[in-house]
Homo-oligomer: A and B are copies of this chain.
Amino acid sequence: MSNPSLLILPGDGIGPEVMAEVRKIIDWFSAKRDLQFDVSEDLVGGAAYDKHGVPLADETMAKAQEVDAVLLGAVGGPKYDDLDFSVKPERGLLRLRKEMDLYSNLRPAQCFDALADFSSLKKDVVAGLDIMIVRELTSGVYFGEPRGIFEEGNERVGINTQRYTESEIERVARSAFELAMRRNKKLCSMEKANVMESGILWREVVTRVGKDYPEVELSHMYADNGAMQLVRAPKQFDVILTDNLFGDILSDCAAMLTGSLGMLPSASLGAPMANGRPKALYEPVHGSAPDIAGQGKANPIACILSFAMALRYSFDQGAEADRLEAAIEKVLADGVRTADLLAEEGVQPVSTSEMGDAIVAAL
């Protein structure tokens, strides 16, 4: 049997820096645990645009379709702000999501004990927080047609279309219920069914799918109230299911609550491939952070934890994922901190690469 394959797309900003640390981890697993991956690397986002004039080359897209998992750093940056919409860095990421049909985006919002002090929220509100947001990722207003800027009378109009079919809602709902079954059996679905018909259909289909999971306690909430409740008392939630646009905003809000933004990985999963595993792309929740790029300040943990998710969901190496996560916990418990994690007085921050080395040492 050939080695499992991994395509690495470092992208822009701090992407390449944090990915270099993941490389060290991969090398460690190869040398010490005899876990070999066929690793290839390619460009996405602004980096791809600089070379190819498009934010994702067709060959890269084809490669992504073939591998067992894709690991992405981050895309975007001010340098590309004035590019035409069709070639913006983000389009590279969106193309991957769409063409790989990665409809289920898992975004944990987890507060690490050692880091509860970093949250802008009171410690008792967030300590121990562990939510999973399941965001639909391949449809909705991100991809609906018609879209564009059109002439109308003597002015222009900007149009996007929110659009969900029953089957699109059903498949992501099913993945959220499955996840809820493996967690605390509580699922809250968020939309604006009081204002949007697409939200009405969403609520109806989620309710129907819920009948197949009678053990899961299902509730529905308007997305604006959801944002409020996340701020007020986030621990009331276990799994949150929502659409592409609401998920974009609510998951960022939830991530920031934890104070652990530089620590949060994500997985975007599609339909099972021939080997039974889902098509998958893993990436940190944080962005490309152009303000600190190239300074060795970035925290590589979110990206390394994204690799741990790949070990677990794509490579059937749950025990090795546990090992990697335990190493990260140990390093944090030892007080090793990148600049984003500095609360204690007198602690000197380590660099991106020192953090990577510390994790390898802990392994």
A residues engaging B (CB < 8 A)?
Answer: 76, 85, 88, 90, 94, 120-122, 125, 141-142, 144, 147-149, 152, 155-167, 192, 194-202, 223-225, 227-228, 230-233, 245-246, 248-250, 252-253, 255-257, 261, 287
Contacts and interface: CB of A to CB of B under 8 A. Distances in A.
Nearest to A89: B194
A223 B249 CA distance: 7
Contacts of A246: 249
Pick the most buried of A147, A160, A232, A245: most chain B CB atoms within 10 A of its CB.
A160
Pick the most buried of A85, A147, A164, A197: most chain B CB atoms within 10 A of its CB.
A197
A159 B168 CA distance: 13
A85 B200 contact: yes
A90 B193 CA distance: 10
A362 to B, nearest CB: 29
A164 B158 contact: yes
The 10 closest A-B pairs by CB, nearest first: A158-B201, A158-B198, A227-B253, A228-B256, A224-B252, A160-B162, A231-B256, A155-B166, A90-B194, A120-B125
B149 A200 contact: yes
A158 B202 contact: yes
Contacts of A198: 158-160
Nearest to A201: B158
21 contacts: A76-B194, A88-B194, A94-B195, A121-B121, A156-B165, A156-B201, A157-B165, A157-B166, A157-B201, A158-B197, A159-B163, A160-B162, A160-B198, A161-B161, A192-B245, A192-B248, A227-B252, A227-B253, A228-B255, A231-B256, A249-B250
A91 to B, nearest CB: 9
Contacts of A233: 120
Pick the most buried of A88, A147, A162: most chain B CB atoms within 10 A of its CB.
A162
A245 B230 CA distance: 18
Contacts of A158: 162-164, 196-202
Contact of A249 (B90, B159, B227): B227
A203 to B, nearest CB: 10
A227 to B, nearest CB: 4
A120 B232 contact: yes
A152 to B, nearest CB: 7
Contacts of A195: 90, 94, 141-142, 248
A227 B163 CA distance: 24
Given A155-B167, A224-B252, 14 more contacts: A141-B195, A148-B197, A157-B165, A158-B201, A159-B162, A159-B163, A159-B198, A192-B248, A195-B248, A227-B252, A227-B256, A231-B231, A245-B245, A253-B253
B245 A257 contact: no
Contacts of A196: 141-142, 147, 158, 160
A121 to B, nearest CB: 5
